[in-house]
Structure 1
């Protein structure tokens, strides 16, 4: 399930704040490896993401994002091999439209 929203502040229309949650239900995979057959479990988890964007003028905007705000440990893929998903990260971007 994915739920996202954004809000533009009436008293400061240049500022937009937003965020969302990706919810993943628990899952598992049966796999085999050096130790033989095993079941790898992944419990349910939320991934929370936030952003703020400021429109400086008609062409120029600055945006900051925080992904995986709660720094959840999770598997991004479950199959015969599995890998952890990305930890908390922060990014900033500047966009200019001609």
Structure 2
């Protein structure tokens, strides 16, 4: 499931805080083994992953009517996880990462 929320601080109306939590239940995938002619003969193995949660934070501050400063932190717990299984391969998701941006609006 995904939970995303933002909160505008009443005492600081130009400040907005955000929280995101993504939770994935246990995942597994049977990996077949094929012969040279493409016939699947047996299971080569299983890709398996326990349940995990990703936590993301955001803070933004409206500098003026045209400019906003925003900072983001993603996967703050630095969870190691597989997020995609194309062709029976698992790809790791991004580790903890951070960004700062200035947004212009006209």
TM-score (norm 2): 0.86
Query: Hey, which bits of structure 1, 4+ residues long, moved more than 6 A?
Result: none
The residue number in structure 1 matching 2:50 is 43
> Which residues of structure 2 form unaligned runs of 5+?
34-42
Shift of 1:81: 1.1
Shift of 1:63: 0.2
Instruction: Report the RMSD for the aligned CA atoms in angstroms.
Output: 1.2
The residue number in structure 2 matching 1:92 is 100
Shift of 1:62: 0.5
TM-score (norm 1): 0.92
> Which residues of structure 1 form unaligned runs of 5+?
none
SS of residue matched to 1:70: coil
Q: Distance in 2 between matches of 1:78 and 1:41?
A: 11
- Alignment length (residue pairs): 96
Q: Which structure has the bigger radius of gyration? A: 2
Q: Distance in 2 between matches of 1:88 and 1:23?
A: 16
